[in-house]
Structure 1
């Protein structure tokens, strides 16, 4: 009993640690080698998901200090209660890295679909909604395609891949990684990316609601599930550090 005074100090310290942990960011770099023809330069992508209420820091933008062929916002750019000015500032900062391609998350429409579309388009970005876009042409076409979020009732995988040709190099984006299996079975995209799970957000050692974010490779095909950048429900994290990603895609065939 004489040590019970320590309990509130421990709990308070833990909450402070989790709050600070949620404000940190790990910038992960991935060099992927696809079984396609080599290009003079790799395709350079920046991927961030699940920003929610958080601000994209200027320090992070300065740290990156690189231009990309595509800056991909993988859903949950916002949620209910996030000021439009904050969303606009986050998009402005991300647009300084390259052209934005935005994908719907399950919370984004809470601030108004027209508001999100208007902000993305005002900075020259594209909203990918069961659609695709050409990122680069060279020895082969490099394509990005994406679906609407599963929560919308509007997800259409076949429509997203309508313009994709068998010779294309395809990057598939979905907010929810639970779409990966169906996309892989039907269309075999070279790279798949998603967020949504927050890596479990609060983990006790190996235990969490979802697995930690990870990059996986299988027979030259890659899939990324990100821990995401922000938080939902509570502004706390433990064992699933916030992250964003620099991805360089290289061919390995002469």
Structure 2
């Protein structure tokens, strides 16, 4: 009997340790640095930094961690699911005011934003001086050069029925373009990717990644783009090399549990591709 009790106790201890690990991954406060090289990035943008945050859901952003980035970041991009249903608006407002202290903020909607109080959220973003992009372009200027940021709104009614990419001015077709979108499946509608860089979230990286089994809570259509950096070589297109970064996101669905898929924000350093010749 004592041996059986020992076995049960060992199983319980392993289970408790696993749950603690999953909670720790879900509530992790970490900024993941990454450098992304872009063919058409103006040299004056080389070294520019973007803080990418996706899928906050119901979490509170860490003030000390983010304020350490003040003056180190050019822009903050929010790739949707800024909140979710039943999250106190006061918490969301505190998050937004904190981000606005870091750098200028640009945002797009995610699916959970539409399930929440979307009009209250939009009013709050405006009051916090955060620019909401809804299938629209904005010019980012630096040192006399510029790139275009396009924000694609999550389709609120029909799943993934995105409109056409908003057009740039005719004389700007060769200009570097970044697309901010919640759902990385947006890129699937294009056989030739139209943006130099696409930034997305939505997947949570799968949230639960079991050894030998894989992503049990993520639709199969996302398994090949669950998280990380992806590239397409397009030698005959205007955009020769298209890149997409899919973040695992900062929040979580349902319970605060992640496994082999920790929460993250990204600190992106843009690099101009120095062509040898």
Counterpart of 2:119 (choices 99, 109, 114) is 114
Counterpart of 1:214 (choices 221, 228, 234) is 228
SS at match of 1:88: helix
- Deviation string 1:176-233 (CA, Å, 9 cap, x unpaired) is 1101122462x62000011000001011136113545202234432110000001011
Residue 173 of structure 1 is matched in structure 2 by 180
Residue 201 of structure 2 is matched in structure 1 by 195
1:11, 1:71 → 2: CA distance? 38
Conserved in 1, the CA contact under 8 Å of 2:70 and 2:101? no
1:92 aligns with 2:113: no
**Displacement of 1:107:** 0.4
TM-score norm. by structure 2 comes to: 0.82
1:80 aligns with 2:94: no
Residue 39 of structure 1 is matched in structure 2 by 44
For structure 1, which segment, 70-79 or 174-183, has the greater mean C-alpha deviation from structure 2 after superposition? 174-183
For structure 1, which segment, 138-147 or 116-125, has the greater mean C-alpha deviation from structure 2 after superposition? 138-147
**Displacement of 1:253:** 4.9
SS at match of 1:5: helix
Q: 1:40/1:134 Cα in 2 relative to 1: closer, same or farther (>3 Å)?
A: closer
Conserved in 2, the CA contact under 8 Å of 1:157 and 1:183? no
Larger radius of gyration, structure 1 or 2?
2
2:267, 2:45 → 1: CA distance? 19
Residue 15 of structure 1 is matched in structure 2 by 19
TM-score norm. by structure 1 comes to: 0.89
1:130 aligns with 2:130: no
SS at match of 2:210: coil
1:244 aligns with 2:265: yes
1:235, 1:40 → 2: CA distance? 38
1:155, 1:134 → 2: CA distance? 25
What is the RMSD of the two structures over their aligned residues, measured on CA atoms?
A: 2.3
- Deviation string 1:142-195 (CA, Å, 9 cap, x unpaired) is 01112111454385432x42235312211011111101122462x620000110
Conserved in 2, the CA contact under 8 Å of 1:33 and 1:252? yes
Instruction: Count matched residues.
Output: 252
Unaligned runs of 5+ in 1: none
Counterpart of 1:226 (choices 241, 247, 250) is 247
For structure 1, which segment, 162-171 or 131-140, has the greater mean C-alpha deviation from structure 2 after superposition? 131-140
1:38, 1:19 → 2: CA distance? 42
